[in-house]
Amino acid sequence: MNKYDYLIIGQGLAGSLLAWELLQRGCKIMVIDNGLESASQIAAGLINPVTGMRLVKSAEVEHLLPSAMRCYEQLSQLFKQDFYIEKPMLRLLNNELLLTNAHKRLADPAYKDYVKAIIATDAYPYLEQQHTGYLQTRLLLSTLKQYFIELGCYRQSILNYEDIRLLPLLSWQDISFKKIIFCEGHHASQNPWYSWLPFQLVKGEILSLQHQSQLPDVIYNFGEWLIPLDKQHLRLGASFDREQLNNEPTLKAKNTLLQSLQNSGIDLSELFVTDHQANIRPCTLDKQPFIGEHPQLPQLAIFNGFGAKGSLQIPKFCQLFADALQNQSPYPSSIRRYYATHFTH
Ligand X SMILES: Cc1cc2nc3c(=O)[nH]c(=O)nc-3n(C[C@H](O)[C@H](O)[C@H](O)COP(=O)(O)OP(=O)(O)OC[C@H]3O[C@@H](n4cnc5c(N)ncnc54)[C@H](O)[C@@H]3O)c2cc1C
Q: How far is the CB of 39 from ligand X (least distance, A)?
A: 4
Residue type for 82, please? D
User: What stretch of H or E contains 58?
Assistant: none
Q: How far is the CB of 90 from ligand X (least distance, A)?
A: 16
Q: How far is the CB of 44 from ligand X (least distance, A)?
A: 3
Q: How far is the CB of 288 from ligand X (least distance, A)?
A: 13
Q: Which is nearer to ligand X, 55 or 125 (CB)?
A: 55
Q: Which is nearer to ligand X, 93 or 206 (CB)?
A: 206
**C-beta of residue 229 within 8 angstroms of C-beta of residue 275:** no
Q: Which residues contact 197 (CB under 8 A, 6 or more apart)?
A: 188, 284, 290, 302, 305, 335, 338
Q: How far apart are CA 115 and CA 102, in angstroms?
A: 8
Q: Which is nearer to ligand X, 186 or 316 (CB)?
A: 186
Q: Which is nearer to ligand X, 56 or 106 (CB)?
A: 56
Q: How far is the CB of 27 from ligand X (least distance, A)?
A: 19
Q: What is the dihedral of CA 35, 36, 42, 47, to 10 degrees?
A: -60
Q: How far is the CB of 197 from ligand X (least distance, A)?
A: 13
Q: How far apart are CA 73 and CA 62, in angstroms?
A: 17
Q: Which residues contact 127 (CB under 8 A, 6 or more apart)?
A: 55, 90, 91, 93, 98, 102, 105, 106, 115, 117, 118, 119
Q: How far apart are CA 253 and CA 206, in angstroms?
A: 9
Half-sphere exposure of residue 262: CA atoms within 13 angstroms, side-chain side: 7
CA distances from 90 to 67, 94, 212, 261, 268 (A): 24, 12, 20, 14, 16
Nearest in space to 308 (alpha carbons), one of 101, 40, 19: 40
Q: Which is nearer to ligand X, 41 or 125 (CB)?
A: 41
Q: How far is the CB of 75 from ligand X (least distance, A)?
A: 16
Q: How far is the CB of 100 from ligand X (least distance, A)?
A: 26
Q: Which is nearer to ligand X, 221 or 264 (CB)?
A: 221
Q: How far apart are CA 100 and CA 117, in angstroms?
A: 13
Q: Which is nearer to ligand X, 141 or 324 (CB)?
A: 141
Q: How far apart are CA 109 and CA 240, in angstroms?
A: 32
Residues near ligand X (CB under 6 A) are: 9-15, 32-34, 36, 38-40, 42-46, 158-159, 183-187, 204-206, 237-238, 279, 281-282, 304, 306-312
Q: Which is nearer to ligand X, 125 or 238 (CB)?
A: 238
